[in-house]
Amino acid sequence: MPRFDSPRLLADIGGTYARFALETAPGEFTQLASLRCADHADFHAAVRAYLESLNWQDGGPQQIAHAAVAIANPVEGDQVRMTNYHWQFSIDEMRQRLGLDTLVVVNDFTALAMALPRLAEADVRQVGGGQARRPSVIGLLGAGTGLGVSGLIPAGEGWIALGTEGGHVNFGPRDEREMDILKFAWKSLDHVSYERLISGPGLELIHRALADRNKVDAPPLQAPAITQRALEDGNALCLETLEVFCGLLGTAAANLAVTLGSLGGIYIGGGIVPRLGEYFDRSPFRARFEDKGRFHDYVSAIPTFVITAEQATFKGASAILENQLRTLQASPGSAILGQIRRARSELSPAELRVADLVLAQPRSVLNDPIAEIARAAGVSQPTVIRFCRSLGCEGLSDFKLRLASGLTGTVPVTHTQVNTNDSMLELGAKVLGNTASAILQVRSHLNRDTIDRAIEMLLAAHRIEFFALGHYGVVAQDAQFKFLRFGMPCGAYTDPRLQALAADVLREGDVAVVISSGGRLPELLSVVEKAQERGAKVVAITASQSPLAKKADVTLIVDHVEDIATHLPMVSRILHLLVIDILAVGVAMRRSPDSIAALSGGPDDDEAKAPRGTGSNAAPGVSTASPLARLTSHSR
């Protein structure tokens, strides 16, 4: 088995313990250690303590370049704040402090989900009947400090992991005993989710609730003690606690199965169930899982498995890290940080200051405007542009796109092939899924600066002309309709001869919006040249690195390739329509509430005339904050 160039650091961080390992070759984990979180001030201190405890062989300590952390917490953006513990940190700052080239941080159950395809038959134990269908959706849940919920969706030859917080759905009692437990929980909790009961703290809450219900004078016990007294001493109250716990887990698992359509099976992980051993197999879990009324036959056919492999989360984190590193190696554009390191000796002293800033604070550079980047590096704005071009980028926007692709730590979005033997339901699901995946990819490429500049150009325009050819003509016509509703002079041209004539009468102060998937059609490139010759500005909605993208004054990137020689473009056309929607909403938000009403199609649309004007004469009280920032805040 080939060994890695350097060991990879893997971590599994829960609310109580932080587990660590080194992976020296694919699936080969060494130097395993489990540290109590309470013994360390923060995440960095725990990592340093582990690294300092390592027993190195063959020549002493080795440099660790890559690491993956699975953490019991949602992971969104750079800042990580644990739900069940007080640790918090910046991913990028932590990468720098630990001296790593790559640090991938993912939800722990996302990591465990990605491990499922790698588990051998000996790594799981089936509870009850059922037969897994392959390939099909797989569900995953498990109880520990909290209740983790995830799933896997087959996509081509790989899988897409779901990062969810499904443990926080409302708890629903099944009988009078569970209703009494809910009432007891309400005495101290405003919201009772399944996680409040199906977890270590949940075992303790159930135990107290049952003692109150049974009028038993029982001392409060921690979860390990409850399990021990039930399985070893046969304590009646503790046994009833486990009985309720396993029954609730069966209901939660069945809910997940019908929600996801998990015909590939439901897997149970976490720290509690694997320790229950054979008791779990004869517990009420499977009976409650199959107790689904009209859907009894449906869930009875779905198998349930307990994950017994001790290193399952490490396997999943390793798979995600390997995926990320493979992406960086396969795509020159996404390996831009490595490119910067290699180019340091060829940069001027001023450009080198920009390079050092990017390497030290890549996420800040990704979000900051050029003026802030120049100030932080102590250089001029033209120096920032020269630095970007020295790396083969067209400018700062292109550089940021490549930088963004190198910083992502998510599982790649994939395309699912439509087959001739698909049912109509499968066909619809695949088409919608492929479209949703493409939209998410475009969203990750959105650049605040370019969207702001495009909107400012449109607001200041005397007239806006939309140009598109072939199947993308409907996008230009849709844009014309939207902007005419604002009362803004505009036109749409989809015929090459009319486009040439329209370009000849453009003048300074006009804006030409050119829409093209490939950005290579000579007719549209000619329109751009004529428009710029006459002093008009050009906004392009097209693919990155295309001739059109390079010629335009502002380019909004939409990278999605479809073979129009064999079929009509579907997904890419939707993506172009969405970019038009972003521009329209941005313009409306900068102008007046009447413009928003024109977009929404309200009952008074036909009578309301939105005033024509630019950003400088927007209605009083209308914010001129970044439209992209406003859009993202509204979408949360």
Query: From the centroid of its chain, how far is CA 270?
Result: 23
Q: Give me the number of domains the chain comprises.
A: 4
Domain assignment present for residue 439? The answer is no
| Residue 51 shares a structural domain with residue 147 | no
> CB of 112 within 8 A of CB of 140?
yes
Amino acid 499: pLDDT: 95
| Binding-site annotation: residue ranges | 11-16
| Residue 52 shares a structural domain with residue 159 | no
Each residue of 14-24: pLDDT tens digit?
888 999 999 99
| Residue 137 shares a structural domain with residue 167 | yes
Domain assignment present for residue 435? The answer is no
> CB of 44 within 8 A of CB of 94?
yes
User: What CATH number corresponds to the domain at position 369?
Assistant: 1.10.10.10
| Residue 164 shares a structural domain with residue 269 | yes
Domain assignment present for residue 319? The answer is no
Domain assignment present for residue 321? The answer is no
Would you say residue 203 has pLDDT above 70? yes
Domain assignment present for residue 430? The answer is no
| Binding-site annotation: residue ranges for ATP | 11-16
| Residue 454 shares a structural domain with residue 591 | yes
Would you say residue 445 has pLDDT above 70? no
Amino acid 83: pLDDT: 77
Residues 6+ apart with CB under 8 A from 554: 450, 453, 454, 457, 537, 538, 539, 540
Domain assignment present for residue 417? The answer is no
Domain assignment present for residue 323? The answer is no
Q: CA-based angle 48:51:55, to the nearest 5?
A: 150
DSSP states of 212-229: HHTT-------HHHHHHI
Domain interval for residue 575: 446-635
Q: Which residue has the tokens 């370019």?
A: 450
Domain assignment present for residue 427? The answer is no
The pTM (predicted TM-score) of the whole model is 0.54
> CB of 443 within 8 A of CB of 556?
no
Residues shown for the chain: 636
Would you say residue 570 has pLDDT above 60? yes
Residues 6+ apart with CB under 8 A from 473: 492, 494
- Mean pLDDT for 155-161 is 79
Each residue of 519-542: pLDDT tens digit?
889 999 999 999 999 999 999 998
Which secondary-structure segment (H or E) carries 125?
strand 124-127
Measured distance CA(353)–CA(384) in Å, rounded: 10
Each residue of 462-521: pLDDT tens digit?
999 999 998 899 999 999 999 998 889 999 999 999 999 999 999 999 999 999 988 889
Measured distance CA(377)–CA(388) in Å, rounded: 14
| Residue 362 shares a structural domain with residue 463 | no
Measured distance CA(82)–CA(78) in Å, rounded: 13
First to last CA, the chain: 46
Structure tokens at 352: 């080198």
Would you say residue 630 has pLDDT above 70? no
- Mean pLDDT for 558-568 is 57
| Residue 222 shares a structural domain with residue 277 | yes
Amino acid 474: pLDDT: 93
| Residue 374 shares a structural domain with residue 286 | no
Would you say residue 136 has pLDDT above 50? yes
| Residue 174 shares a structural domain with residue 208 | yes
Burial per residue of 82-92, b for 16 or more beta-carbon CB atoms within 10 angstroms, e otherwise: bebbebebebb
- Mean pLDDT for 363-376 is 86
